[in-house]
Structure 1
Amino acid sequence: MRPRPRHLVLAVALCGVLSVPATAVAAPPEAEPTGERSVTAAGTHEVITWGASADRIGDAVADRGYRLVVRTSVGGTGLRIRLSNAFGDRPVTFDSAYAGVQKEGASLVDGSNRRLTFGGKRSVTVPAGATAYSDPLPGRLAAATTLVVSLHTSDAAGPVTGHSMAMQTSYTTSGDHTAEEGAGNWTERTGSWFYLDAVTVRTPSTTGAVVTLGDSITDGWQSTSDLNRRWPDYLARRLQAAPRTTVKGVANEGISGNKVLADGAGQSALKRLDRDVLSHPGVRTVFLFEGVNDIKAHSGVTAAEMIAGYREIIDRAHAAGTCVVGATVAPFKGWYEWDADAEAVRLDINEFIRNSGEFDGVTDFDRILRSPYDRERILPAFDGGDHLHPNDKGMQAMADAVDLNGLECDRF
């Protein structure tokens, strides 16, 4: 027999996930606070399979539809989405939500688009500053699915919560076309994700996830859009192919321009750690790769201040029961904000990351990305063109440098 195309296999799996009557679906509270977990079934637990950091990304428009394209990592049952109104100043109501499998562009595989419910209802109102999970959907979703979540808001206003730089084309429209599988009414393109900040599945209790906490390099800038070539994407593919690792989920919580210590492009890593990282279910390890934006901002930040920030993240992650892998800050000579003072701080920080012993593991991105002829610069073959952000080859080299065993976390 000829094998069925992969997208048809995924469609069958997703139809199974979404076709069970609502009476068979558990009903969590209409709006769950960030960090609240669902009840764990015997031998299984919930694990994040996709995530994107929340931020304010403009002002809401009433009667707007969003068709959001995301790439999951770990497969499992009981798919749920999390909707975020973290930066809203008033409640927002979602009166329709669907999930399906991408066929091409804004079109979905026939029969894959199914309605999501919230506490058994078709709509959910999320208070300002809160999140809401959909009901778990019985059935199985395959790993590495290009999932499409369609949302409609009838009366949204005020600040929009979302993720600005998705490196992925999604779609918007006027009116409610969430149930449609065709692309005819989804003609407006966007490079951002709106309201959706997490997708979870239920897996065996031995399966875990890693959350990458970072800035624009982790967010994927200079990687090729729509091809999932951010370094966490390459890492997810490595983890899926590794037979012995139990860490299979990957959530990318990078924000372009983000800093460890100060707000700016998104809240600081210290402020958003709980919401964007520790609130997610099944997290085994936090992968911390931040610092270059603090250093190059010429704000006078010292290595000692940066180290204190890293230590706080380590302590809070350990208190939450997760391990922390630290990554050295990559070279950026040639970027317009580089100078010798910033370089000196970078070297001191990297010395701490490599040799303090305070991280549960270390990945030396500096060593992987730097040129052997000028250690203050990215290797030209890895340079995306601005001397700060790696290209696709550099992103893959970063992911290949991660010790998969070091993500397992046997600290506790």
Structure 2
Amino acid sequence: MSSTEFCVSDSPASPAPTHAQDSPGVDRGRRRVLLAAPVVAGALVVPTGDARAQTGIPERWSAGWGCAPAGPPPPASLLTFANQTLRLIVRTSLGGNRIRIRLSNEMGDTELRLGSARVALRAGGAVITAGTSRQLTFSGRTNVTIPAGAPAVSDPVSLPIAPFTDLAISLYFPGTVQATTIHNAAYQASYASTTGDFGAQTSLPIQRAFASWPFLTEVDVDRAAPVLVAAGDSVTDGVGSTSNGNRRWPDYLARRIQVELGNDRIGVVNRGISANRMLANTATALLAGNDLLERFDRDVLATAGVRGLAVLIGINDIVYSPPSAPIPADDLIAGYLQLIARAHLHGIPVLGATLPPFFGFVYYTPAREAVRQAVNAWMRSALPFDLLADVDLALRDPDVPQRLLAAYDSGDRLHPNDVGYEALAGAVPLPALWSLMGGTG
């Protein structure tokens, strides 16, 4: 789902207790058990060094922004563009001197012809900062044809940016294209032009605005910073947060990193998809994406610079199962163990998260609640993850633990509001996460 209301608000919140755990595949010397809220770690050393390639040494790239593609949408909501320029707005969590982008036609059944692509700093709305527009090329060409089912990565282009910079990615399609590959719940306005190629123009002549990200799935910068991929469902995607405000919990976590650890210490990429599940696809809701076990290689392992995985998923597996005989907790536990094992095969530590309270949500039943409680109890007692963020404890009402705290509720009794998402980000054990991802100091 996506929103059409665009406003911003800021509110503080408090962190919650967290845990950590030893597990195979990650250096034991860098693990610790956390029994209290994270502390400020302002004295840590910032990694340095230019990531430009040297002779015989591969370039180092890190994802500063990303989303998870899904689709195709149902015909009634399929976006079609004909001889138009899209201006897609994203905010990077990392700075750098050069940029490249990743586009996707992975859900398309015909080739995707892109006439031109540009990147620039955004001044506001659909307006870019004069003098910052850069032509992007693909294998040295200004146009590219992306086969059905495939992605495409651009060549690097010089454009120095600071962390938390808003970028405008302009994509010109000379023919008629359908946005079969799209991230639906962007909670960010992007724009389509009137007829023509306006990528180099400061001001885009707008035909319409829309709150999704067609085709664009990643923006990389030339840094060697470790990247944390946040994989999950609508709670990670930011449902209930303020549109155009960058108030999803991974956004708040990126800002915590800046304050407590320093700029460019860790990149954060959001691969959440609204309605996504861990174990099964939803055939009637293709915008919910492939289940996390299926999309893991693409959305986690293929992310430039990935050094850590944060997993907050499972509530949809519960609420989309039969109300009186829901999915067994053991099935979810087996799924989490698979995610951990596959991440550890690549030396990637995993930050797990307990499932949030949902009493009063439209799909709540006592039987489903019992599964959630069993899963959370297993996470806390077995300590299967390298670290654990106790999201349930951070968000629940202390008087009614099955219920989301009213101050954190966006209105549907499951999805947090901005304040709740900040509290969720505060539950992440940040110094220990930094250590697990290779940080020193």
How much identity, in percent, do the aligned residues show? 41
CA distance in 2, matches of 1:169, 1:411: 33
Q: CA deviation at 1:59?
A: 5.5
Cα displacement string for residues 19-40 of structure 1 (whole angstroms, at most 9, x for unaligned residues): xxxxxxxxxxxxxxxxxxx996
| TM-score (normalizing by structure 2) | 0.81
Runs (5+) with no aligned partner, structure 2: 1-50, 283-287
Provide the aligned C-alpha RMSD in A: 2.0
CA distance in 2, matches of 1:344, 1:323: 29
1:7-406 aligned within 5 A: 41=54, 45-56=60-71, 57=73, 58=78, 60-157=80-177, 160-173=180-193, 174-183=195-204, 185-203=205-223, 205=224, 207-243=225-261, 247-264=265-282, 265-299=288-322, 300-406=326-432
| TM-score (normalizing by structure 1) | 0.86
Q: Is the partner of 1:256 in helix, strand or coil? A: coil
CA distance in 2, matches of 1:319, 1:236: 26
Q: CA deviation at 1:407?
A: 2.2
CA distance in 2, matches of 1:115, 1:382: 43
CA distance in 2, matches of 1:104, 1:372: 41
Runs of 4+ that moved beyond 3 A: 38-44, 59-62, 156-159, 243-247, 409-412
Cα displacement string for residues 326-362 of structure 1 (whole angstroms, at most 9, x for unaligned residues): 0000000000110110001001111122222321100
CA distance in 1, matches of 2:178, 2:263: 44
Q: CA deviation at 1:65?
A: 2.0
Which shows bigger deviation, 244-253 or 337-346?
Answer: 244-253
CA distance in 1, matches of 2:191, 2:179: 19
Q: Is the partner of 1:78 in helix, strand or coil? A: strand
The one-letter amino acid paired with 2:197 is D
The one-letter amino acid paired with 2:202 is E
- Aligned residue pairs total 372
Residue 100 of structure 1 contacts residue 112 of structure 1 at CA under 8 Å; is this kept in 2?
A: yes
Residue 395 of structure 2 contacts residue 408 of structure 2 at CA under 8 Å; is this kept in 1?
A: yes
Q: CA deviation at 1:404?
A: 1.1
CA distance in 2, matches of 1:93, 1:78: 25
Distance 1:301 1:108, change over 3 A: same
Q: Is the partner of 1:155 in helix, strand or coil? A: strand
Residue 210 of structure 1 contacts residue 407 of structure 1 at CA under 8 Å; is this kept in 2?
A: no
Which shows bigger deviation, 314-323 or 59-68?
Answer: 59-68
Cα displacement string for residues 128-186 of structure 1 (whole angstroms, at most 9, x for unaligned residues): 11111111123522111000101012234456211111000110123321111113x12
Q: CA deviation at 1:319?
A: 1.0
Cα displacement string for residues 241-299 of structure 1 (whole angstroms, at most 9, x for unaligned residues): 23369742010011111111111221101111111111011111100000111111134
Q: Is the partner of 2:412 in helix, strand or coil? A: coil
CA distance in 2, matches of 1:55, 1:333: 29
CA distance in 2, matches of 1:387, 1:296: 13
